[in-house]
Amino acid sequence: MIAQDPHALAIIAALEADSLTVGDGVGAETAGTVTAPQIIVHLIPGGTIDGSIADPDEWADARFQLTAVGRVAAEARWYADKAATALEANAVTVAGRSVQRVRPTEPWGPVTRDHDVSPPLFYATRTFGLFTFPT
């Protein structure tokens, strides 16, 4: 069984609270075709971890990427905006932890077209930070 990261699950839950279609590291598919529109959540290795001598890993400033997928560029931008709004409107909660901030670390990147899938899809990405510590 693969362990589920509680922070990733909390981000996904906040997005799904606004009825968004969300993929965890991979895009959702229907009959072998990537579903659009959707948001894909990717945790990014790194970030900042700090703490006390007793628990040097207790505070985390984690990074994650959202990838907005659309059938046309406008749909990818629209779903990207919906995802950003969902993260602002819905609390990201992790059991046993206090999540203080979920914030963008970069603006949305340009919308790019993927010609390798049929039909072609459009993508926009943005990275976010999530500051959390034990309660």
Instruction: Identify the three-state secondary structure at position 127.
Output: strand
- How far is Cα 1 from Cα 128, in angstroms, rounded to an integer? 28
Q: Domain range holding 45?
A: 6-134
What single-letter DSSP state applies at residue 57?
T
Q: Is residue 62 part of a domain?
A: yes
How many residues appear in the chain?
135
Q: Is residue 88 part of a domain?
A: yes
- CATH number for the domain that contains residue 83: 3.30.2000.30
Q: Is residue 125 part of a domain?
A: yes
pLDDT score of 59: 79
Q: Is residue 1 part of a domain?
A: no
pLDDT score of 122: 97
pLDDT score of 61: 86
pLDDT score of 1: 38
Number of domains making up the chain: 1
Q: Name residues of the chain where pLDDT drops below 70.
A: 1-3
- How far is Cα 124 from Cα 135, in angstroms, rounded to an integer? 34
Q: Whole-model pTM?
A: 0.87
Q: Is residue 31 part of a domain?
A: yes
pLDDT tens readout for residues 16-46: 999 999 999 998 888 777 889 999 999 998 7
Q: Is residue 107 part of a domain?
A: yes
pLDDT score of 3: 55
